Amino acid sequence: MIVEQFGVEDWMDRYEEGARYNITDTCARPLTLNELFSLTGEDKKDFMESFFQREQTYGPIWGDKALKQEIAGLYEHIRPEQILTEHGATGGNQHIFFSLIRPGDRVIAFAPSYQQFYSAPRSLGAQVTVLHLKKERGYLPDLEELRSAAKAGVRMICLNNPNNPTGSLIPRDMMEEIVHIAEEAGAYLFCDEVYAGAAQTKKDRCPSVADLYEKGIATGSMSKSFSLAGLRLGWLATRSEKALAQFRRVRDYDLVSCGLFDEAVAALALRHKEKLLERNRAIVRHNLPLLEEWVEKEKHASFVKPKAGTMALVYYDFDMPSALFCHRMYYETGAFTVPGDCFEEPFSFRVGYGHDPETLVKGLEAVSAFFHILEKE
């Protein structure tokens, strides 16, 4: 197995810890546990007393029943037994690939998107076709291009909706067409939906692929839209019994079960899912206009306004590779962003706007300061 360098994660590993203005993180502003209990109105003392009485053995192998009941509430047609908890959505994604992708299988993925969707299948010996999402199309898939690619036969189509790093959102009618393409090919349709729920307006939502298609497989997590990345708790959901049987078989080799504490806190949080989502929608709806105003005023910057999620891809007009651009900007002004090269989209960088507005404003001012430095060179 040859594993490619994971561009965005490697970049975050090297630069995030010492960043002065981190304006590229894609989680909605993380909650402390004190904030979680305050927001939900749950009794922290009762929770801890109860949890401290539990034996620290393995948890339920396929996930805590109470937690899976709450996760099922995020879907229209998914039952708790059609859900498996995972070590974050990244772990769930990898579990899907290791379970279903075989050497020689054809896989279709998209870029810019999360690199795992094409690099992980490629490492397993799959033949991966990467279709490019174009700025002028609002980063939405070209259905004719997808249909043509799928005609040669395909094992799995991989999506990210809402999209990281662009914040684009595939609408329901387009997703139904994608489902039809997958169905005609007999393919699995896998969609990472970790940013679902963090939309700009009420109409900006799309049903889960797990609800729309029997062979649809969705992943989610407590990290992005629910602000609890420290739990390292995600899940996968599908109505395909064949896929679920394979997931359970492979799971025994590398996961066994998730942490008791992680699942207990996640279950508590998801009992109040609407409160968490309401909080985080308010954050992104307040902060996106700050980013939009900066882009409109900054002559060197442009972007396609996001529909959902917590991030945007911002372009600049200097003739400088984005990795060098972001490296220099980090050390010369303190602004920390991820280069577009990590998403196969040159002359751009990812901005996350889900954190506190003060850091966002100061970080964007630092980006402008770097633009001024480049103007003088």
Domain parsing of the chain, residue ranges: 7-32+274-376, 43-272
Q: Is the pLDDT of residue 267 over 80?
A: yes
Res 146: pLDDT? 98
What CATH number should be reported for the domain whose range is 7-32+274-376?
A: 3.90.1150.10
The per-residue pLDDT for 319 is 97
Nearest to 302 by CA among 287, 319, 314: 314
Q: What is the pLDDT of residue 185?
A: 97
pLDDT score, position 59: 87
At residue 199 the predicted structure's pLDDT band, cuts being 50, 70 and 90, is confident
What number is the average pLDDT over the span 70-87? 98
CATH of 43-272, one of 1.10.630.10, 3.40.640.10, 3.90.1150.10, 1.10.1740.10: 3.40.640.10
pLDDT at 159 over 90: yes
Q: What CA dihedral angle connects 126, 165, 309 and 351, to 10 degrees?
A: 160
pLDDT of residue 28: 93
Query: Are 322 and 349 in contact, with CB atoms under 8 Å apart?
Result: yes
Computed over every residue of the chain, the mean pLDDT equals: 96
* Mean pLDDT, residues 161-188 taken together: 97
Q: Does residue 204 surpass a pLDDT of 80?
A: no
Q: CA–CA distance from 124 to each of 23, 106, 119, 145, 260 (Å)?
A: 34, 11, 9, 25, 31
Judged against a pLDDT cut of 80, whether residue 201 lies above it is answered with no
- Identify the top-confidence range among 158-167, 195-204, 249-258: 158-167
What pLDDT is stored for residue 65 in this prediction? 96
